[in-house]
Amino acid sequence: MTNIAHETISLAVNGERREADVEPRQLLVYFLREQLGLTGTNVGCDTSSCGACTVLLDGESVKSCTVLAVQADGGEVTTIEGLASGDELHPVQQAFHEQHGLQCGYCTPGFVLATVSLLEENPSPSEEEIRRALEGNLCRCTGYHNIVRAVEAAARAGA
Amino acid sequence: MSILGNRVLRVEDPRFLRGEGRYLENMPLEGAAWVTFVRSPLAHARVNAVDTTAAEALPNVQVFTGADVDAHPFGPPPYWNINPAMVRPLVARDVVRFAGEIVAVVVSEDRASGVDAAELVMVDYDSLPVVLTVEDAAKDEVLLFPDEGTNVAARGGSQEHDDGFFDGCDVVVSDTVWSQRMAAAPLEPRSAAAELGEDGRLTLWATSQTPHTDKMVVAGILGFDPAQVRVISQDVGGGFGAKMLEVEGLLIAWLARKLGRRVRWTETRTENMLALLHGRAQQLEFTLGGSRDGKVLAYRLDVLADAGAYPILGAFLPNLTGLMASAVYAIPKIEVESRSVVTNTTPTTSIRGAGRPEAAQAIERALDLYAAEIGLDPAEVRRTNFIPQDAFPHTTATGATYDSGDYEGALDLLLRSAGYDELREEQRRRRAEGGPVELGIGLAAYVEISNPVAETEFGEVEITEDGGAILRTGSFSHGQGHETTFAMIAAERLGLPVERVTVVKGDTDEIPQGAGTFGSKSTQIGGVAGRLAADEVVERAKGLAGDYLEASAADVVLDPALGRFHVVGTAEPSLSWVDLATRASTDGRLGELKVSQEFQAPPTFPFGIHLSVVDVDKETGKVELRRHVAVDDAGTLINPLVADGQVHGGIAFGVGQALYEEVVYGEDGYPLTGTFVGYAFPSAAELPSYERVEMVTPTPHNTLGVKGIGESGTVGSTPAVHNAVLDALAPYGVHHVDLPCNGENVWKALQEAKA
């Protein structure tokens, strides 16, 4: 293992203040998964194509495989673990449940967070806007039909 | 009121929605060593030497080569009739036969140092000529296994040709469909981990659809007593037929024993695209003969399948393609011949549809070509040739016995739902207007075979101390929703709420046997096994309740609405499951309420018809899928919500094949689609919402009346879209477009037609 100087970063993850020493090359997704144990953020590809690793950084969706942990220094990160309030699912999570917007579940955290970000920007998107907004998230199970229904339902619920 | 047939929300959802999915990569597995595979960048080469010195000079790194691995090679079971000499060593020894084949195994303390070390493993290769296409492989000029003298790994069907086969046909049409090589591309890459316990038992954690089969394969190849092997597969992020035990899992198990420590591996996406087995890759040459008035009289199908470098399931699948060659049509004479050949590419296996989409892709093109030749509407030529509703059970000329069907009913339902006449009218209007974008309407009828090899599945129901139930199944769910569907099946028999039934799967110590999940057979055998076990539990509970109510068991009934046992005719006194379980626990009789069952049944034949509407830009060749209307009939539906999801996903997979996806190799056999950038399966932006139309024709082969629905959408959608694209191009004299019908292939077809 090569010796690489570590940098100290300070950020809020799901509302909790975290300080950590990270290698400058450490990707945010592996920082979350391996250093913080937040394994809800999945890794689906090596090329920023699939969006399984989507998290919110300062309220906007980012692919955490394309962000270095040091870039999140001083920021606020929300992962899938930080979305529900206790027993109560976030309205977007609830909508995915009710509309059967997930099957194997692997892409789901990314889709849910991408949806939260989309509805923040556009509270009542059309079907075409939803499909275009979620172009960066891939799902192999659902054929997207019920994911689109879930986003529409979440929008109606005022998520 | 039965719970069955209701749109019950999935009980497994919350953990996935909260980011608590139990995927193998998420397991902490303290102290596990990391495994990194060194893979050949060359498609065909002699391996002269593997120098591990530099890699092993790194701290805490060990490297193993083919010479170190004392395990049997990996090959197909004998009953598939595949050349048994064409087996794959777990690690290549003197020759590599595809880019991605493992040449060395690096063990390190962490992921990053494994990657560093793998780069330092020096392999001395001498390139060999490559053979990449089935046509070239069939020439037997470049041989992958020279000792065998041929690249043909398996044959099926009849090799005797009847020269007069099409005598008496007014019209004969023919063409070739290349059902291109596809990647299963599950969103979760594979992982494996293993450890050898102090008791000498091996535990293998796998991302697999078939843990019980895997256990037997591990035992056989590594020389374990099967009782000494435990395979655990937890939440699996999609599989689509491709996620079963492969050499990587076997090597992880081998290493755990060799090193006496816990080891783990998770592949990168690039590794997944190279090494997870591919699918389809069948060349389908068809000839169809019929009368002028639309009656199909004879059909011939030649299948040349690409088995990849080491023949396994993909080499067997042409047998299913051949079996399903007759599709939904009553065809008096059918000839099928198939060959599977080895090439310097990733081996092939089952992926969603597995042999059946190929059959549909061939005959549905044949029907459209025939219809065009005799000037009949594609819907009418299909109607004319359907196996009639009163002909079931029906045995085809290829020997498949279809259980039940109503193909004409499905066609009528589809045409009505889609507004077929209006669509044709719109097409006439647009053709007359002559705009740059042509409208295409494609039809494809299909019948597929689920539970194709008539397997047996295990189900066990146990009442727990708190009056709930556990259903253990040998079937597996990697997204299909068994935890809900199977719970519904047991809950309905037991009179318990669905949430009181916990479904357990995927652990060979917990579940004594299982077939696993492939071939769309889960509900029809696994679900039914669970139902039988629940029924027997109810019978035994009546005996117990009789003892407690001081009545004869024969007089005790279960009120399924309340989940209470009472004497027939008097609602009280009664006992709930909680009452019964509590008393039985105290009396040491709870064990009576645990029953195992197996269920075995013949295959069933789900069917349907799809209609696609596409816009094709005749200048650029770009195809846009505007509508996709699908009638899919898989018998009785346990949970229509889950069934919808299965159909939707199947459609997307099939549309992906029709329009977008293809695994591509460069001339030297180097994979060009090794990432999700190169291999583009559709996103939400490329697909419309689907118009699913339910139809229910139960099967007589099980008490639930259920058939399989996991693959149906895929079988129907690819040929429907393919036909739609060709329908759009009909005015230009285009009769053939290669799959996928992407802009390039459509544009080329248009240019060739102009030339």
Task: Note the pLDDT of residue A3.
Answer: 61
Q: Could B690 and A143 be called an inter-chain contact, meaning their C-beta atoms sit closer than 8 Å? A: yes
Distance from CA of A72 to the nearest CA of B (A): 21
B267 touches chain A (CB under 8 A): no
Which runs of consecutive H residues, i.e. helices, occur in B550-672? Answer: 577-586, 640-655
Q: Is B14 close to A127, i.e. CB distance below 8 A?
A: no
The span from the CA of B73 to the CA of B359, in Å, is 32
**Strand residue runs (E) in B242-378:** 263-266, 279-290, 296-308, 333-342
Kindly list the residues from chain A whose CB atom is less than 8 angstroms away from the CB atom of residue B648.
142-146
A8: distance to nearest CA of chain B, Å?
20
Between chains, do A49 and B235 touch, taking CB under 8 Å as contact? Answer: no
User: Domain spanning A7-82: which CATH class is it, in words?
Assistant: alpha beta
**List of chain A residues whose C-beta atoms are within 8 Å of the C-beta of residue B15:** 105
| Phi, psi of B50, rounded to the nearest 5 degrees | -125, 110
User: At the top level of CATH, which class does the domain B455-600 belong to?
Assistant: alpha beta
Q: Which of A39, A90, A138, A141 to mutate to test the interface with B (most CBs of B within 10 A)?
A: A141
Does the beta carbon of B693 lie under 8 angstroms from any beta carbon of chain A?
no
pTM here is: 0.97
Q: What is the CATH number of domain B279-451+603-754?
A: 3.30.365.10
Answer whether A7-82 and A91-156 agree in fold.
Answer: no
ipTM of the assembly? 0.97
Taking residue B190's Cβ as centre, other Cβ atoms within 10 Å add up to 25
> Mean per-residue pLDDT for B533-542?
98
The half-sphere exposure of B355 on its side-chain side, counting CA atoms within 13 A, is: 26
Interface with chain B: mutation pick from A128, A144, A149, highest number of B CBs within 10 Å = A144
Closest-CA distance of chain B to residue A1, Å: 6
- The pLDDT tens digits for B403-460 are 999 999 999 999 999 999 999 999 999 999 999 999 999 999 999 999 999 999 999 9
- Tokens representing B398? 């290829």
Whether the CB of B34 is below 8 Å from some CB of chain A: the reply is no
Residue B357 has pLDDT above 60, yes or no: yes
- Cβ distance B187 to A1 less than 8 Å, yes or no, reads no
Number of Cβ within a 10 Å radius of residue B163: 6
The tens digit of pLDDT for each residue in B317-344 reads: 999 999 999 999 999 999 999 999 999 9
Residue A119, min C-alpha distance to chain B (Å): 17
Strand pairing category for B263-266 and B33-39? parallel
Amino acid of residue B58: L
Rounded to the nearest angstrom, the minimum Cα separation between B708 and chain A is 16
CA distance A27 to chain B (A): 12
Q: Average pLDDT of chain B?
A: 97
Domain spans in chain A, listed from the N-terminal domain onward: 7-82, 91-156
Residue ranges per domain, chain B? 279-451+603-754, 455-600
From A128, which residue of chain B is nearest by alpha-carbon distance? B685
Q: Is the pLDDT of residue B245 over 60?
A: yes
Positive/negative CA dihedral, B725, B727, B732, B737: positive
Examine the pLDDT at B161 and tell me if it is beyond 90. no
Residues in chain A: 159
* Residue B79: per-residue pLDDT: 85
Rounded distance, CA B747 to CA B616, Å?
10
Separation of CA B591 from chain center = 37
CA distance to B30, B42, B46, B184, B749, per residue, from B90 (Å):
26, 17, 16, 22, 43
Q: B residues 272-311 near A, CB within 8 Å?
A: none
pLDDT at A2: 52
**B185 interface with A at CB cutoff 8 Å:** yes
Lowest-pLDDT choice from B55-64, B141-150, B516-525, B636-645: B516-525
> What confidence tens digit (pLDDT) does each residue in B592-631 have?
999 999 999 999 999 999 999 999 999 999 999 999 999 9
User: Which CATH architecture fits A91-156?
Assistant: Orthogonal Bundle (1.10)
Question: A111 to chain B: nearest residue by CA?
Answer: B17
Nearest residue of B to residue A98 by CA position?
B9
Give the pLDDT confidence of A7-29 residue by residue, as tens digits: 999 999 999 999 999 999 899 99
So what's the pLDDT on residue B162? 87
Alpha-carbon gap, residue B722 to B359, rounded angstroms: 14
Question: What's the pLDDT at A1?
Answer: 44
Q: Mind listing the pLDDT tens digit for each residue in B255-300?
A: 999 999 999 999 999 999 999 999 999 999 999 999 999 999 999 9
Contact A123, A158 (CB under 8 A): yes
Angstrom distance (rounded) from CA B558 to CA B464: 18
> Is pLDDT above 70 for B566?
yes
Strand order in the sheet with A16-22: A16-22, A7-13, A76-78, A54-57, A60-63
Min Cα–Cα distance to chain B from A33, Å:
8
pLDDT by residue (tens digit) across A69-94? 999 999 999 999 999 999 999 999 99
Chain A residue numbers touching B26 (CB-CB < 8 A): 33, 39
Residue B1 clears pLDDT 90, i.e. is over it: no
Specify burial of residue B146 (Cβ count, 10 A radius: 0-12, 13-18, 19+).
Answer: exposed
Residue of chain A whose Cα is closest to the Cα of B111: A1
Contact B186 A140 (CB under 8 A): yes
Whether residue A44 and residue B478 make contact (CB cut-off 8 A), yes or no, is no
Of A41, A93, A145, the CB nearest to B648: A145
CB contact under 8 A, A146 and B21: no
Chain B contact set for A39 (CB, 8 A): 19, 23, 25-26
B186 and A CB contact within 8 Å: yes
Cα–Cα distances in angstroms (integers) from residue B577 to residues A35, B81, B466, B499, B580, in the given order: 46, 51, 8, 14, 5
The string of pLDDT tens digits covering residues B71-124 is 999 999 888 999 999 999 999 999 999 999 999 999 999 998 999 999 999 999
Kindly indicate the confidence band of residue B158, based on its pLDDT and cuts at 50, 70 and 90. Answer: confident
